[in-house]
């Protein structure tokens, strides 16, 4: 080759190498924010407009939810072109199993599912730039331990609520205010108790023991050491023969048994209370947060990291925290919304007050569902019972 051609060739090669390196550098630098997971999901658009376009092509979204969570689905389908297919989960374990089949795009996860899903990477963090309604969510719910990891928000808050003590007022005195009606070994309602069938219910026993056996020093009903755990398990084993039905997240089963008076007192979600009181004729029930406090949940819509329809899912998440959907679910399910703009839209003007949407003090003795871990989080160290222990104990309690 002649000298000048060699020079050109060398410069060209140099240019190519620099160009290639810079492309690689750009690719590497883009999604990586120092150890955190990426919000990128295959097929997800890179702008809100693109997401809306791609959603129309996707045409549907498959979500796992708690019964009664999805609201205004027809309006959503008309506005976005995404048909909503829902699958009711019975428990957090159930929901995790469903998401892990890869057949669903998202889930309304409670704390005892969300942390596990975030840890395993089954759910992806969300890019809140693509969720315009996110900024209206109450600040106190954002970036909590159950919906964020490494300072990244992992979903869109949905709403929160307590697990109620519900009883038929024609059998149980209206003034009842304590959990002892379901824990009393010789109580008058034995055989007619309705109890949630999942290992997380051990926390409810712990909540009761926290108030009635202070020497156990229970501070967090999900972090129980050996002594506290055994006390809770013993209490549950004592209760087991008196339970009329263990309802496994099948809300219709519980609604039917309260209607037929097969159950007269037990634990429930607000949804059943709403359905029973709205029935024709209404079933005489009352639902309260007893004086000992209760377990509860603060739920988050999360997106599956390999969702088939990520664009529809993003639009869905935005939809569920819109004031209209929040108002619908707050009244339809019976919970406190997390977008307070919904309060002006509820049919019952006092809904937000009645459900304590903005009353943080009321929530102090509502212990949100979370996954038990070995690390007690205080000076006891790593001696607390894990999720595995809770599951094993529950199988034994059920007998």
Partner 1 sequence: MVESRLTRILLHLGAFATLAFIYIPLIVIGLYAFNANVTQKWPIENYSTKWFSVAFNDEAVRDALKLSVLAALGATAIALVLGTLASMAVARYRFFGREVITFAVILPIALPGIVTGLALQATILDVLGPLGVSFGLTTIIVGHATFCVVVVYNNVIARMRRTAGSLDEASADLGADAWQTFRYVMFPQMRTALLAGALLAFALSFDEVVVTIFTSGAQQTLPIWIFATLSRPAELPIVNVVALFVIVVSIIPVYFAQRLAGGSGLTGDRPEKMTAAPAIEAEP
Partner 2 sequence: MTSVPHVESPPRASPGRRLSTFFFRHSRVRLAVLLALPVAWLVVVYFGSLFVLLLSAFWDTNPFTAEVVHDFTLENFKRIVETPVFRDVAWRTIQMAALVTVADAVLAFPIAYYMARIASPRTRDLLVIAVLMPLWANYLVKAYAWRTILSDGGMINSVLEPFGIHFDGYSTVGLWLVFTYLWLPFMILPIYAGLERIPASLLEASADLGARSLATFARVVLPLAFPAVVAGSIFTFSLTLGDYIAPGLITNEQFIGTVIYNIRGEALPTAAAYSMVPIVVVIAYLLVARKLRAFESL
Handedness of CA 69, 149, 394, 296 (dihedral sign): negative
- Note whether 143 binds partner 2 by CB under 8 A: no
Q: Is 255 in the site for partner 1 (CB under 8 A)?
A: yes
Query: Considering the complex, what minimum distance in angstroms separates the CB of residue 386 from partner 1?
Result: 23
Asked whether the beta carbons of 213 and 292 are under 8 A apart, the reply is no
Strands (E) across 169-305 are located at 193-196, 243-247, 265-268, 285-288, 294-304
Residue 256 interacts with partner 1 (CB under 8 A): yes or no: yes
> Angle 73-80/310-320 helices, nearest 10 degrees?
130
Give the interface segment with partner 1, choosing from 149-157, 168-176, 252-260, 312-320 (CB under 8 A).
Answer: 252-260
Interaction between residue 388 and partner 2 (CB under 8 A): yes
| Least distance between partner 1 and beta carbon 165 (Å) | 20
260 binds partner 2 (CB under 8 A): yes
| Cα(294)–Cα(276) distance, integer angstroms | 21
CB 69 within 8 A of CB 62: no
Cα–Cα dist 260/289, whole Å: 24
How many chain residues are in contact with partner 2, going by CB under 8 A? 29
How far from chain centre, in Å, is Cα 323?
19
- Quick check: 104 binds partner 1 (CB under 8 A)? yes
Establish if 23 lies at the interface with partner 1 (CB under 8 A).
Answer: no
Look at residue 373 and give the partner it binds from partner 2, partner 1, none, a contact being a CB closer than 5 to 8 Å depending on partner kind: partner 2
H or E stretch including 180?
helix 180-183
Instruction: Figure out which of the listed residues 88, 93, 223, 292 binds partner 2, where binding follows CB under 8 A.
Output: 93
- 227's contact among partner 1, partner 2, none, with CB below 5 to 8 A by partner kind, is none
Which residue from 97, 217, 219, 348 is in contact with partner 2, where contact means CB under 8 A? 97
Query: Which one-letter DSSP state was computed for residue 356?
Result: T
**Shortest Å, Cβ 316 to partner 1:** 15
Mask for 44-73, x = binds partner 1 (CB under 8 A): ------------------x----x------
Nearer residue to partner 1 within complex by CB, 142 or 253: 253
Query: Angle at the Cα of 144 (from 270 to 140), degrees rounded to 5?
Result: 75
Site for partner 2 in 229-258 (CB under 8 A): 243-246, 248, 253
Binding partner 2 by CB under 8 A: which of 65, 275, 326, 371?
371
Q: Look at residue 196 and give its three-state secondary structure.
A: strand
Residue keyed to tokens 């693109």: 50
Site map for partner 1, 265-284, x if CB under 8 A? ----------x---xx----
Secondary structure letter of residue 36 according to DSSP: P
Q: Distance (Å, rounded) from C-alpha 336 to C-alpha 157?
A: 11
- Calculated CA dihedral for residues 393, 195, 186, 294, nearest 10 degrees: 90
Q: Is 171 in the site for partner 2 (CB under 8 A)?
A: no
Binding-site ranges for partner 2 (CB under 8 A): 93-94, 96-97, 116, 119-120, 243-246, 248, 253, 260-262, 371, 373-374, 386-389, 391-392, 395-396, 398-399
Binding-site ranges for partner 1 (CB under 8 A): 62, 67, 85, 87-88, 100-104, 249-253, 255-256, 259-260, 275, 279-280
């Amino acid at each position: 080759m002649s000298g000048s051609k060699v020079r050109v060739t060398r410069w060209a090669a140099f240019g190519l190498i620099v160009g290639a390196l810079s492309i690689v550098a750009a690719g590497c630098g883009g999604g990586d924010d120092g150890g955190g997971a990426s919000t990128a999901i295959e097929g997800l658009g890179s702008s809100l407009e693109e997401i809306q376009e791609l959603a129309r092509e996707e045409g549907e979204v498959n979500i796992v939810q708690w019964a009664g969570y999805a609201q205004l689905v027809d309006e959503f389908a008309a506005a976005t072109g995404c048909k909503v297919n829902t699958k009711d989960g019975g428990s957090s374990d159930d929901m995790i199993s469903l998401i892990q089949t890869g057949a669903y795009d998202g889930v309304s996860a409670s704390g005892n599912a969300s942390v596990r899903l975030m840890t395993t990477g089954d759910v992806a963090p969300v890019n809140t730039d693509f969720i315009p309604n996110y900024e209206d969510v109450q600040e106190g719910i954002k970036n909590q331990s159950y919906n964020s990891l490494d300072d990244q928000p992992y979903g869109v808050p949905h709403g929160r609520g307590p697990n109620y003590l519900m009883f038929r007022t024609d059998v149980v005195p209206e003034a009842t205010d304590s959990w002892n009606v379901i824990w009393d070994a010789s109580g008058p309602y034995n055989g007619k108790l309705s109890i949630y069938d999942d290992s997380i219910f051990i926390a409810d026993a712990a909540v009761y023991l926290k108030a009635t056996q202070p020497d156990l020093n229970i501070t967090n009903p999900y972090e129980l050491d050996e002594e506290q755990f055994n006390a809770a398990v013993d209490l549950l084993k004592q209760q087991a023969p008196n339970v009329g039905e263990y309802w496994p997240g099948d809300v219709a089963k519980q609604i039917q048994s309260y209607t037929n008076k097969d159950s007269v007192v037990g634990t429930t979600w607000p949804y059943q209370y709403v359905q029973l009181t709205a029935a024709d004729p209404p079933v005489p029930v009352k639902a309260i947060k007893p004086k000992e406090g209760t377990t509860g949940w603060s739920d988050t819509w999360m997106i599956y990291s390999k969702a088939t329809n990520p664009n529809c899912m993003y639009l869905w998440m935005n939809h569920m925290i819109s004031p209209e959907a929040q108002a619908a679910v707050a009244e339809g399910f019976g919970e406190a919304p997390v977008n307070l703009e919904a309060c002006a839209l509820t049919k019952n003007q006092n809904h937000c007050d009645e459900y304590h949407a903005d009353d943080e003090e009321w929530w102090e003795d509502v212990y949100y569902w979370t996954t038990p871990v070995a690390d007690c989080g205080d000076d006891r160290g790593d001696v607390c019972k894990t999720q595995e222990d809770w599951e094993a104990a529950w199988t034994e309690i059920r007998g």
